[in-house]
Structure 1
Amino acid sequence: MKDTSSSKSSLKRKNILEAAAKVFSEKGYIEASIKNITDEANVAVGTFYNYFNDKEEVLEQIYEEISNMSLKAASEVSMNKDDSISQKFTLAMAYVISIYAKNKNLSKILLVKSMGINEAFEKKRWEILDRTNVYLRQILEHLKKQHSLNIQDVNVTSVLLTQSIFGVITYWLNEKLTSDLKDIIFSLCTYHLKALNIDFTYEEINKCINEIEI
């Protein structure tokens, strides 16, 4: 028998998170109030405090969910056995970026406007970076072992990949990169494929990126 109370609680929590994401995107994190969030979610302020301590915790949770979505999408596309190494690599990187791009306004708050809010949020930001780094390190270890790629230092290479992905996303969100996002992803992917000595064709990489809705 289904636990309906638990299910309802989960839906209410999700409703508050979605409302907060909308409010943060429209008003900005600093200007948004808990009352704004509860009005959008159509719940009482007391209900908000049943699930969250403050709006900072809500922002951290939204960051967590976007990160989980991006890594889940990247993991799923890299599992296709019919794709070449370059295709898997490109699709994984492109999907990570596409999730943040699809949530552009919110991602801008998370990666640009909330930098240095406080120590707790900085800790969360580093957790997300570390999680992405671990995911990329596992991919690189697999490529090195199964496909004999000449990767001198997997740890350093995974950090470089992580920082370049989030660097590109942040610069694009901050409108310091004004090129089309698909062109930016193409440049990022081809640069790293060359650095890793992975064979590819430009047509193959373009085809992968154009498959993704951004």
Structure 2
Amino acid sequence: MDYMMQILPSLLNGLKMTIGVFVLTLIGSVPLGMLISLALRSDIYLLKWVMNAYVWVMRGTPLLLQIVFVYYGLSLANIMTLPRFEAAVITFILNYAAYFAEIFRGGIQSIPQGQYDGAQVLGLSKFQTMWKIIFPQVTKIVMPSVGNEVVNLVKDSSLVYVIGLGDLMRAGNIAASRDVTLVPYLLVGLIYLILIALATLIQRRMEKKMNFYR
């Protein structure tokens, strides 16, 4: 017990980094995913083709490889050199935006054409139609899928160790290697389970509220 209390501060410091990556990724990737989902349905062929290619690349290559490419690859190619944290957050946002875009596109496609026709009769613009009529319905439809991606994001955040960020997983790995014990890994696993439980609880409450106001 004394040992657990001894290593807990370092794990909590790593947890701050993990939560930072998680929160900033959600803030950036969800709205970006919404915009990309609209671009995927655009009548402009070039824009639609570029967005489809972007989604294909982001979903078709490992997130770990993308992190390494953004942090090391861009620097080696003399394009730009990003700090570790910024490189990780940008990569996570770009990756998860692609997944959210596909989720939102599927939700938009599930809305009957009559909803669009009714909005047109009411004299609403395309923007008003999407913002006031389509997206509120889409949000209810895609909430379970978005929740699954949020859970994946909690776990994927551990990948930032590859570029040396002091996240929760890295803190546990350092303690385990230094003290030759599995206790830090057990604590790390417990903390991740707590984070996922909280994310799941929040998701279910949001779903209940949305069903209540349906």
Same fold (TM over 0.5): no
Q: Give the structure with the higher percent helix.
A: 2
Q: TM-score, normalised by structure 1?
A: 0.34
Radius of gyration: which is bigger?
Answer: 2
Q: TM-score, normalised by structure 2?
A: 0.34
